[in-house]
Chains A and B, each alone.
Chain A
Amino acid sequence: MTRLSSYAEDERRHLLELPCPTFDSTPFVAAPALDTLRIAIISTAGLHRREDPPFGLGASDYRLIPSNTPANDLIMSHVSTNFDRTGFQMDVNMVFPLDRLNTLVEQGYIGSVATYHYSFMGATEPEKMEATARNLAGIMKKDGVSGVLLVPV
């Protein structure tokens, strides 16, 4: 079990002291029925296709991941060394669960999977990603996305 209380003191303190944005209110959009939802994944693991440029420090842009991207085409250039990468190395679904979403479509649990998915590099201050994220929302709407699954690393 990994709760902050189980971390070494300096690691726990570091994580607790990371700045988190605060908002006056929480937006809330009523979602369509689960079995009709069209889901896109947004990862913050710094994932991208081999042909794409790696993420660097302070990157606030994203990489596009088409849903037909082979697992061997996905690599990770997140700048932080402070999280486990071996899970991703053993199984791409550990951070980018596209195969699992496809299974849930086959099972009728969700409606469909979007044509495109996206990855940011989560070490960047989220405020710097705001404009890009808002623009991305408009793009996802054109892909018919009605639900976004955000997966951290």
Chain B
Amino acid sequence: MGALAHYIEEEGIATTQISLIREHTEIIKPPRALWVSFELGRPLGIPNDENFQLKVLRQALHLFAAETGPILEDFPEDAPDEGTEQTQIACPVSFGNRDEDNGTEPSLSSRFSREIEELSPWYSLSHSKKNRTTIGISGLSINEAANLLSLFTDNTRRPELLQDPALADQLRLACEDIKAYYFEAISSQPGQPTDGKSLAAWFWRDTAAALMINRAREICLAESSGKMRLLGKLLLIPRNQLHNFTRVE
């Protein structure tokens, strides 16, 4: 981010930026930067809080008035709902206890399908309330994306899928769409937390979808293709959620 500012400013256009990692900005020294203490992925701080976002923006834009640089200021406020404590999500959809999973493929796959089905009305509600969805990067419907993940974890069906050189990309995008479906659905339920930590903890700790993605990750790590191994190593599960899967590793 800071390097892009450097290149563009060298070409003659003034820049300002938001910084999420102060230590990086201190090294790169872009012309103007406002460091914010928000979670990675949330540079404007709080979703649907126009006044808070405007405060962040005004301070970042105000740096254009500086006469010399580099300048690195700190935004003085934290995002209020980003406590260190996660809020337990009370999901009206009964997913059962994931620890009861016996590890057999049909059981997990069918539970995954049931989750998709049971979240469907909440996803529809989210879509209609916001007139917006972020699903779509895979180009598949949610059922097609879920089916691709299920087929990939099926030892009898996977060899055929592996013939497709685009499989690693398609699987990554399908998993992102599946995650977006779950998060958009759960966020539409009344009274649920909106902070990323609580939502991530729920998904990665409590859902069959997460177990399916982890199963795909384990399969990818054992593949001979470098692209598939990279997918398994880096691109399916966040580093800070891998601890949820020590039981199945």
A residues with a Cβ closer than 8 A to B are 1-4, 6, 8, 10-11, 14-16, 18, 20-23, 26-32, 34, 37, 39, 42, 44, 50, 54, 56-57, 71-72, 74-77, 79-95, 97, 100-101, 103-104, 109-110, 120, 122, 126-127, 129-130, 133-134, 136-138, 140-141, 145-153
Contact = CB atoms under 8 A, between A and B. Distances in A.
Interface string B19-52: 1111110011111000001111111110110100
Contacts of B24: 15, 18, 20
A68 to B, nearest CB: 16
B11 to A, nearest CB: 3
B220 interface: no
B44 A100 contact: yes
B143 interface: no
Contact of B61 (A4, A34, A76, A133): A34
A16 B133 CA distance: 34
B110 interface: no
A90 B39 CA distance: 15
Contact of A149 (B27, B61, B78): B61
30 contacts: A2-B40, A22-B28, A29-B13, A42-B8, A50-B136, A56-B169, A77-B137, A84-B39, A85-B134, A89-B134, A89-B180, A94-B42, A100-B44, A100-B50, A103-B50, A110-B61, A126-B2, A127-B3, A134-B8, A140-B13, A141-B12, A146-B13, A147-B61, A149-B60, A150-B4, A150-B15, A150-B18, A151-B18, A152-B20, A153-B20
B81 to A, nearest CB: 11
Contacts of A101: 57
A26 B44 contact: no
Nearest to A107: B54
A120 B5 CA distance: 13
B132 A27 contact: no
Contact of A147 (B6, B14, B19, B44): B14
B6 A87 contact: no
A26 to B, nearest CB: 4
Contacts of A32: 14
Contacts of B218: none
Range class of the B interface residue count: 35 or more
Contacts of B47: 86-87, 90-91, 93-94
Interface centre among B13, B67, B179 (most CB of A within 10 A): B13
B134 A76 contact: yes
A26 B29 contact: yes
Interface string B68-95: 1110000000100010100000000000
Contacts of A140: 8, 13
